[in-house]
């Protein structure tokens, strides 16, 4: 089955019945089905020319701890149809990485993140489809990933973005990520990289605000 799943829901979808608090519907995927779903969903992110393939995603995640989450919501003009609208993939990153991109990441984080005797999570890819932005889906995914990460023994989550990704920078600010490193691109400052992190504590999880229903696929 592709990512679109028909559910029987009332008008306005599952999230807004009789003024009740929004309830975000999140699916947690296993590796192969999750990688395929993300490849499919990334087709909707027109602003990013180089999209991740399912093979690339699966190769990155196998042999490490990871979480593949997808939020689903009703189509505005057909609320009975529930579609994937946002996703987030997080995975463990270790000092002993061998994949060149992760070796580079660990090297860049040297002096900013302590890896010894700690579990560090990397928030790798994620986003929300345009028509569903600003509705809390990414917060819900992030909070779910933090709850999982704390329960799984992670100490810190790190994320990388660029100056020019203003939506993501604003969002990470709201989600209380702290800047730990700024890597200047001398040719184009909009391409400069920003590294941020968040310590995972029970206080962080207690401060979460989203109501979520999580289904394992």
Binding to ligand COA by residue 167, rule CB under 6 A?
yes
Residue matched to tokens 């203003």:
166
Number of residues that bind ligand COA (CB under 6 A): 17
Binding to ligand COA by residue 83, rule CB under 6 A?
no
Binding to ligand COA by residue 128, rule CB under 6 A?
yes
Query: C-beta of 173: minimal distance to ligand COA in Å?
Result: 7
Cα separation of 140 and 25, whole Å? 9
Nearer to ligand COA, 2 or 50 (CB): 50
Question: Of these, 39, 145, 161, 197, which contacts ligand COA (CB under 6 A)?
Answer: 161
What does the DSSP 8-state code read for residue 130? G
Binding to ligand COA by residue 134, rule CB under 6 A?
yes
Question: Of these, 53, 163, 165, 193, which contacts ligand COA (CB under 6 A)?
Answer: 165
Give the count of beta carbons closer than 10 Å to the beta carbon of residue 22: 17
Cα separation of 171 and 177, whole Å? 9
The SS3 assignment for 103 reads helix
Give the count of beta carbons closer than 10 Å to the beta carbon of residue 106: 18
Nearer to ligand COA, 27 or 137 (CB): 137
């Amino acid at each position: 089955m592709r990512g679109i799943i028909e559910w029987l829901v009332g008008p306005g979808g599952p999230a807004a019945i009789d003024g009740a608090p929004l309830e975000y519907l999140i699916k947690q995927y296993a590796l192969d089905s999750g990688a395929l779903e993300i490849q499919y969903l990334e087709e909707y992110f027109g602003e990013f020319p180089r999209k991740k393939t399912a093979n690339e995603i699966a190769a990155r995640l196998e042999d490490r701890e990871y979480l593949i989450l997808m939020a689903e919501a009703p189509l505005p003009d057909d609320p009975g149809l529930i579609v994937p609208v946002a996703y987030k993939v997080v995975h463990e990153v270790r000092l002993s990485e061998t994949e060149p991109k992760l070796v580079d990441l660990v090297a860049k984080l040297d002096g900013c993140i302590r890896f010894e005797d700690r579990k560090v999570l990397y928030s790798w890819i994620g986003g929300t489809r345009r028509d569903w932005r600003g509705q809390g889906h990414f917060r819900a995914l992030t909070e779910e990933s933090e709850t999982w990460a704390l329960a799984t023994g992670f100490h810190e989550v790190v994320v990388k973005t660029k100056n020019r990704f203003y939506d993501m920078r604003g969002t990470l600010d709201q989600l209380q990520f702290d800047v730990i490193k700024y890597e200047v691109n001398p040719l184009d400052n909009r391409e400069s990289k920003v590294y941020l992190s968040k310590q995972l504590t029970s206080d962080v999880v207690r401060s979460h605000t989203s109501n979520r229903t999580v289904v394992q696929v």
